[in-house]
Amino acid sequence: MARRLVGFHVLRGMGVTLKTFCETYPWGRAVLRVLRIPSTNGLVTIEYPEVKQQHSERFRYFPFLVYDGTPDDLRCVACKICEQECPPQCIHIVMEKDAQGRPVKVHGRTLPAQFDIDMSICMSCRICVDVCPFDAIEMDNAYELSASDRFEHMLFDKQRLLKSNEYFQQIKPTEASEVDQRLAAKQKKTAAPAQAQPASAAPSSPPAAPPGAGPAAPPTGRTPGPQPTGPPRAPQSPPPGA
Ligand code: SF4
Ligand code: SF4
């Protein structure tokens, strides 16, 4: 039985080869049309580099950093999660800090001063993309990167890694649109409490203590707050950008 199965699969494989051979030539495609066998362009080689193969959206090569709008509007906040998770340890990140050593913020976010990936070590595993909580790093499908000098040409710095979200939408429309939707939903979620804050922080008189009641109990929660018997709190100003 097993022998018969092996024979069947050998014949099946030869059939695929024959079909691909026929698909490669106009006469062969005509024969397949007459036999009503669905066919495609069976060419297995192309005249590279003049002709380039169209890759599927899932094709991936090396990672790149995504920015929205202008290159200073990086999604990356230099959290270093990808650096820690990268199996061959080919990512190196340094956060942007001021003279006092405090993180610098641009567009309300911290950012990397240095972000390098050694592409000669990268194994295109995509783990950095999967672990990034900010959808700041994605896989590129540019593959013509051969170079004779590994250190000069294959060590990508931040400037070389930066690519726009429009580029991402162009090379991987399905994935980019999923990411855009996810980010829009996240933004909506964080914007909602920020807008609700001024209303909830409206001035209100503290509840009057019943006559004869002892000193008010301290407020509960992680951060000790003022005693409820104090003067009414001034309304909090809404956070910038709310
Ligand atoms: S790419 Fe993502 S995971 Fe890596 S440092 Fe930037 S924000 Fe963090
Ligand atoms: S694709 Fe894999 S190997 Fe390459 S930088 Fe990302 S985590 Fe590291």
CATH number for the domain harbouring residue 169 = 3.30.70.3270
* 11 found inside a domain: yes
Show the DSSP H helices in 88-209 as ranges: 127-131, 150-153, 158-161, 165-171, 173-200
Question: Which pLDDT score, from 0 to 100, does residue 200 have?
Answer: 52
* 79 found inside a domain: yes
Q: Are residues 88 and 157 in the same domain?
A: yes
Question: Which pLDDT score, from 0 to 100, does residue 2 have?
Answer: 62
C-alpha 161 – ligand 1 centre gap (Å): 13
C-alpha angle with apex 91: 86 to 92, nearest 5 degrees?
135
* 109 found inside a domain: yes
Question: Which pLDDT score, from 0 to 100, does residue 226 have?
Answer: 37
C-alpha 139 – ligand 2 centre gap (Å): 9
* 206 found inside a domain: no
Q: What is the pLDDT along the chain (242 residues), one digit of tens a residue?
A: 666 677 888 999 999 889 888 888 888 888 988 988 887 777 777 888 898 888 889 999 999 999 999 999 999 999 999 999 999 999 999 999 999 999 999 989 999 999 999 999 999 999 999 999 999 999 999 999 888 888 889 999 999 999 999 999 999 999 999 999 999 999 898 887 767 765 554 444 444 444 444 343 333 333 333 333 333 333 344 444 33
Distance CA 83, CA 110 (A): 16
Question: Which pLDDT score, from 0 to 100, does residue 3 have?
Answer: 65
* 110 found inside a domain: yes
* 201 found inside a domain: no
Q: Which two tokens stand for residue 63?
A: 């990672």
The closest residue, in CA terms, to atom 2 on ligand 1 is 132
The model's pTM: 0.68
Question: Which pLDDT score, from 0 to 100, does residue 121 have?
Answer: 95
Number of domains within the chain: 2
Q: Pocket of ligand 2, candidates 61, 117, 125: which has the most ligand atoms within 8 Å of its Cβ, to mutate?
A: 125
State whether residue 7 is helix, strand or coil.
helix
Distance CA 150, CA 134 (A): 30
Q: Which two tokens stand for residue 221?
A: 């929660």
Q: Are residues 81 and 147 in the same domain?
A: yes
Task: Find the ligand nearest to 88 CA.
Answer: 2
Q: Pocket of ligand 2, candidates 80, 117, 126, 128: which has the most ligand atoms within 8 Å of its Cβ, to mutate?
A: 128
Containing structural domain, residue 157:
63-176
Q: Are residues 70 and 172 in the same domain?
A: yes
Q: Are residues 154 and 75 in the same domain?
A: yes
